[in-house]
Every structure is written in structure tokens, then in C-alpha cells.
Amino acid sequence: MPSKLSDSMTKIKDSWSGLEFKVKRRILFWGMLSLIALASTVLLLNRTDYVVLYSKLDVKEVAEIDKLLTDLGVKSKNSSGTILVEKGREEDVRMKLAVQGYPKTGLNYDLYLNNINFSTSTRDKNIMLRYQLQDRLSNTIKLLQGITNAVVTISMDMQEDFQLGSQKNPVTANVLLELEPMYVPEKQHIRAIQKLMITSISGLKEENVAIIDSEANDLLPNTNNDPLSAITSSQFELKKSVEKELQNKIIYMFEPVFGSKNIKVSVNATFDFDKRKTQLTEYTPIINNEGIPFTIDELTEKFSDSSTNAASGSDSLNERVQKVVNYRVNELTRTIEEAQGVIKDISISILINDTTLDQDGLFNISQIVGASVDVDTANINVSNMDFTADKVEAQRLKDALDAAKQEVEEPFPISEQTMIIIAGMFFAFIFALILLRTIRKAMAKPKVDIEVPQVSSQELEELLTSEELAKVKEEERVNKEKLAEEQKIIEDITQIAKVNPKNAADLIAYWMEKKDEEDEEVVGEELS
């Protein structure tokens, strides 16, 4: 084996040494182009273009999203709160991350900056800025608890610079909230959203803000001076507050066991808002159930009656005694005023997504709930069912994501990477054919051994005339310049291939076309 290898190397060296300089130069040139084409193809195949997915995120959310992207098998980079993903998958990734509630931070001005250039008018800039503000406020409100989506619409007069003060239309804004099931936002939360709108939009007044939910309910607290409406609103807030507190306490206890999406709790509290006032007076005797004598009035009256002893001829003397005693006893007066908003009754219903629970398990859960919220177990109902609707909705969402992913990943019958592979293989094949053809032509030429006598430089100058000597030196100079020029071209090609492989491939294709034309002309001349 080593001898065969040695023989092959010897034959290659002999063949190479027997080639002319022009042939060697041509072989080296096309060989270099072939290597450049192969290197360009490899670089194009291994290169991954990245686009911005999210920007201006905090460090914690960047780590969370990076882990999710790794689980999804998506190539990504992150730097200074910006996450980049491979081009072509950004829309699919955004949809999947949006389902899981990302991003939670990272509000940016891409909508405004991507649509503004030096030729944009001031009016268009103001419109894009308003759209950007709407998008930013929507994303901010969606971060609040219990809100799944928010749509913000801002209305302002774009021609206010050309109008008088009395003719200007006021700035108005409305917010449409999509709330989680069974979630009722508290009054202070709605007030906070209203304050956010007023402080974010220049010229917006409190009375020009509207906040409604997806069922067209006005969520802004009633601001009129009707005392009855104010009392009703406060009673309703108290009821919802107590129910929400009990509901959160129950979910907090069982969420680690069943998961937040596998337990549903409904609490109904009945309040007594009637106002009652009772006054009681008690009298208690002290001694022998008679009390203490306080005043004694005694009256003694004596009088004579002549009609009684008329027969004896003398008057009769009579006496009457009247005694009045006033007693004092203990007197206790009580005034009882019952507080409004007393809880009369509480009923709790719990539904668990676990069909394996038996009656003993459900009873134990009701006992735990009763002890934790101080409610009689007779008012607690615990049941288990299969949440089929959630599974169907999840499967429907998964099918929609898969369909969208297929549309994003396959916009054309042939992908860009496949086209690059085909182009690279085509150029490599052409270069190999040209190189093989050049070598065959060189090998086909008969080798003529010419014995060149050794002549010194001085003798050569004596043999050649001055004109011939100048011609030889001129040819040497030209050959050196051509060699230097070709060497520079090779270096330029290498540099271009490193910086921009696509331009290098186009340049090589142009040279191949010129080479084929030159070869056809040579063949035509030989045939003629």
C-alpha cells in the first residue's frame, strides 16, 4: 500500500512538472474558485439569520422566555434584554408565547419607529405616535390581574393647530376590557386604569374616559351625588370583597394539590343591611320585691257626725287615716343598635377536575374548607367532574397553532435552504468539470524533451542582440505583472467570499459564462 501511494505521488509530481506555466496557473485558478464555491456554500448553509422577537425585557423574563424557546427547539440569542430568534419562525413563536402570557414586560416603540422615515409628514407622525400610544397602553393594562385582553382607542383632533380654542374637540378615550371568567374588578382597580389613561394622554379629562367590559357593562364607579346609589354601590362592593377573599383563600389551599386550572370555586354570601334600633327598660326590686321606701305621705282626718247619735242628743266623733308610700327600684334602660352588613349565610360550591376522587375524598375536602373559612359543612358542596370543554379548547388552539406554523414554515414549495444547496452543488459541479477538462487537455499534449544547453548570462547577452534582450526582459516584466494581478484577484475573491458569499457566487457565475464563451471561440478557431 505505501509503495502504491508513493508511485501515485511520483506520477502526480511528474505530470505537474511537465505542465506549462499557463496550464498550471489555470489549474490553480479554477481549483481556488472551486474551493471558494464550496466554502461559500458551507457558510450559507450553516448561517442562521436572526430577527428581534422582544426587546427591553427584564432579566427574569429573558431567562423564562429563553428556557421556553429551548423547550420549543428554537434557536435564539439574547443580549441586554433583547431576544432574537431564527428568521422565519418569529410569528409562530410569538403566538405560542402569547398563549402562555408572554411578554409580561418589554414595551417598546417598534410600531412608531418602523413606520417613520425622513419623508413622513408631521400628520402621519402624529397618527403613528397615537397608534403606538394605544398599543403601549393596551399592553400595560393587560399586565393587570384578571384582565386577559385590553383594547384602547384614543380620539383626538388632528387639525387642532388650525382651529380656534372654542372649536377644538376634546380628547376622548375608551378602554374595552376582556376579563377572566367570574372575575369582577374592584373599584380601586378601575380607578387606577382611569388614572393611567389620564396621566398618559395629554389633554384627556376624567369625564372623557370610558371603561367597559366585553359584555358592555360600564365599569367606572358611579360619580353622581345620589346617596341611595352610593349606599347600594358600597353594599355591593362589600359583598364582592368578602366573596373574593373566601374564594382566594380556598384556591390558595388547594392550588398546589390540583393546579390552578383544575379547581373552580364559587362563594355566595348573604348580608343583612337592615338598620335596627331596640330600647329596653328593666326594673329590679331590692328588698322583698318591694324596693326601698322613698317618700311616705300619711294623712289623719277626724270629724263628728251628728246624724249617727241623734237619739242620744250628742255628736259622734270619727277618724280616717290615709298613708301613701312611694318605693324606688333599680331601673335599667338599654338601647341596642345592630350594625349594618351582617353576614347571614354563606354557601360554597367547589368543582374539581379529577374524576378519581371518591366520596371520602370529597368529604375530607369539605371538612378542610369548613375549618379554614369557618363555614358549616352543610353549606359546602364539593363535586368532581371532567373539564372536557377546556380540553377541547386546548386541542382547538393547538390545531390552530400547528396550521399557522405550517403556513409560516412552508410559504414556497422549495425552501431557501434547499435552493442554496442546489446552487452550491451546481457551481461545485461546474468548477470540477472545468478543472478536469483543463487537466485532461494538459495531459493530452505530447511532452517534448528539449535539451537546453547551459549558457551563462554573459554568453546569453552576447548571443542576443540588444533588441532581442529588451524583448525578453519586457516579456518577463509582463509575466510578473500578470502573476501579481492574478494573485491580487484571488485575494479579492477570498475576501469577498468571506464578507458576502452571495456576491462571490454571482461573480463566479459571471466568470464561468465568460470562460465558456472563450472556450467556444477557441474550439471554433481550431475547427476552421
pLDDT digits (tens, 9 = 90+) for 76-126: 888 777 888 887 777 778 767 766 667 766 555 555 566 666 777 888 788
Question: Would you say 196 and 138 are in contact if contact means Cβ atoms under 8 Å apart?
Answer: no
What pTM was computed for the model? 0.40
* Assigned C-alpha cell, 397: 388552539
* Assigned C-alpha cell, 212: 367597559
Identify the pLDDT of residue 450: 45
Residue-range domain boundaries for the chain: 23-105, 107-159+169-222, 241-270+344-386, 276-304+318-338
* Positions in the chain short of pLDDT 50: 162, 408-413, 446-452, 523, 526-527
Identify the pLDDT of residue 523: 47
Identify the pLDDT of residue 381: 92
Q: Can you tell me the distance from the alpha carbon of 39 to that of 425, in angstroms, rounded to the nearest whole number?
A: 11
- Whether domain 241-270+344-386 has CATH 3.40.50.1820: no
Identify the pLDDT of residue 515: 64
* Assigned C-alpha cell, 495: 475576501
Identify the pLDDT of residue 408: 46
CA distances from 193 to 148, 177, 183, 212, 214 (A): 15, 11, 16, 11, 16
- Beta strands per DSSP E along 7-136: 50-54, 76-79, 82-86
Pick the CATH number of 23-105 from 1.10.10, 3.30.70, 3.30.420, 3.40.50: 3.30.70
Scored b (16 or more CB within 10 A) or e, 512-527 reads beeeeeeeeeeeeeee
Identify the pLDDT of residue 343: 83
3-state secondary structure of 302: strand
Residue 369, CB half-sphere, CA atoms under 13 Å: how many? 28
Question: Would you say 25 and 60 are in contact if contact means Cβ atoms under 8 Å apart?
Answer: no
Superfamily (CATH) of domain 107-159+169-222 = ANL, C-terminal domain (3.30.300.30)
405 Ramachandran zone, left/alpha/beta (phi>0; psi -120 to 50): alpha
Can 23-105 and 107-159+169-222 be said to share one CATH topology?
no
Question: Would you say 152 and 142 are in contact if contact means Cβ atoms under 8 Å apart?
Answer: no
CA distances from 188 to 136, 174, 192, 241, 248 (A): 22, 18, 6, 12, 18
Identify the pLDDT of residue 449: 46
